[in-house]
Structure 1
Amino acid sequence: MRKQRFLYLSCFLGVLLTPGIALAHIGTGQTGIVAGLLHPLTGWDHVLFAFAAGLWLSSNRFKLRQGLALFLAPLMAGMLMGANGSHAGFMELLLGVSVAITVIMLLPRATPGRPWGIVLLSTFALMHGLAHGHEMISLSLQGSLTAAAIALSSGCVFLAGHFMGSLTKRDPRQAAQ
């Protein structure tokens, strides 16, 4: 329990102490597999959101494949919507808020139930995908490769969070063996 609290507190403080949390979108316009793979790793909004989503889903006993489906399906759907021109002008603010709420969801007394958590995380993943849909350049091959690389890289960050969450919820009787 102590490890879990430390991990949650670290994520929460990371959100509070990081200025300009949604600045991952600097340098958009670059496309390709390498740009797509690096994009989610170079911005706090991606890293914190995907990691916290993995932690939350793991700590709420979602299997890995369920968590990936709840995270990656809306992310990709949002990218497809964004490629068709759907994008709000205040999207960066919404992304910052989504990261903060996702990290707050990790706090034991602030966590929503499973149904509401699923709705929140899937909606936030959709918003993150929507913000990056313009990088698909109207579904061109290069843009589609970029989107696939963004999804792959985001999925890897999610996997890291899910793995860390699974370590913190281990049964103490198993650790003694």
Structure 2
Amino acid sequence: MMVRKNTKFAATTLAAMAVPTLALAHSGVGTTGFMQGFEHPISGLDHVLAMVLVGAFAFQLGGRAFWLLPPTFVLATAVGGGLGMMGMTIPLVESGIAMSVVILAAIVALDIKTSAGVAMGAASLFAIFHGHAHGAEMPENTGGAVYALGFVIATAVLTVGGIGLASLLHIAHEPSRRVIRQSVGGIAAIVGVGLLAGQL
């Protein structure tokens, strides 16, 4: 009974995260370059999941990684965005984004530990893909600097949100904490596989 409740909670958490993404759906509702940039990460379920999972991963690792992983991811996202704005091609960007969701979800679900350096390297690679997508899809007649500022801030907010969710989960007792973590990670991984297969 407890497992069922925890699984339901995990599904509800992911559904709540998905609502704004499905509503916006890369619609470009914002009227300013900043808002268009800010909306891009939060309007894609793949971006939201990956960034929240990065925050959860940082909390999970603790130590140096807690402080270094989030800013590293945000900085690499900005670099990838710059490459996208300049029209530089990176192969398999969408596949890389989907794969980042799968890998990060598995890491969080299985509570995998690694060094801060390895975590930062992997997160940087994933962030390049996400950032490139933001930059490449910048609307015409939009100021690059303010657009970049928008998606960088959104990325930071989502990542910090992941830290917050992970800290809330940490309050729960075992085995509830483990069940919720595995359920959320498992559902996110399934979503990532679906994105990778082009089914969502």
Partner residue of 2:190? none
Counterpart contact for 1:40–1:47, Cα < 8 Å = yes
Structure 1: distance between partners of 2:149 and 2:77: 10
User: 1:36·1:149 contact (CA, 8 Å) conserved in 2?
Assistant: yes
The corresponding residue for 2:34 is: 33
1:96 partner letter: A
Unaligned runs of 5+ in 2: 174-200
Q: Does 1:146 align with 2:147?
A: yes
For 1:76, the equivalent position in structure 2 comes to: 78
| TM-score scaled by length of structure 1 | 0.71
- Cα deviation 1:55-104 (Å, max 9, x = unaligned): 00111004654233221111111111222222235321221111111111
Q: Is the 8 A contact 1:79 1:136 kept in 2?
A: no
1:99 aligns with 2:101: yes
Indicate the SS of the match to 2:164. helix
Partner of 2:134: 132
2:129 corresponds to 1:123: no
What's 2:181 paired with? Answer: none
> 2:57 corresponds to which residue?
56
Q: TM-score, normalised by structure 2?
A: 0.64
Q: How many residues align?
A: 158
Larger helix proportion of the pair: 2
Q: Is the 8 A contact 2:74 2:152 kept in 1?
A: yes
Paired amino acid for 1:150? F
**1:76 counterpart letter in structure 2:** A
Distance 1:171 1:41 in 2: 27
Q: 1:66 aligns with which of 65, 68, 78?
A: 68
The answer (yes or no) to whether the contact 1:137–1:143 under 8 Å persists in 2 is no
Structure 1 gap segments, 5+ residues each? 173-177
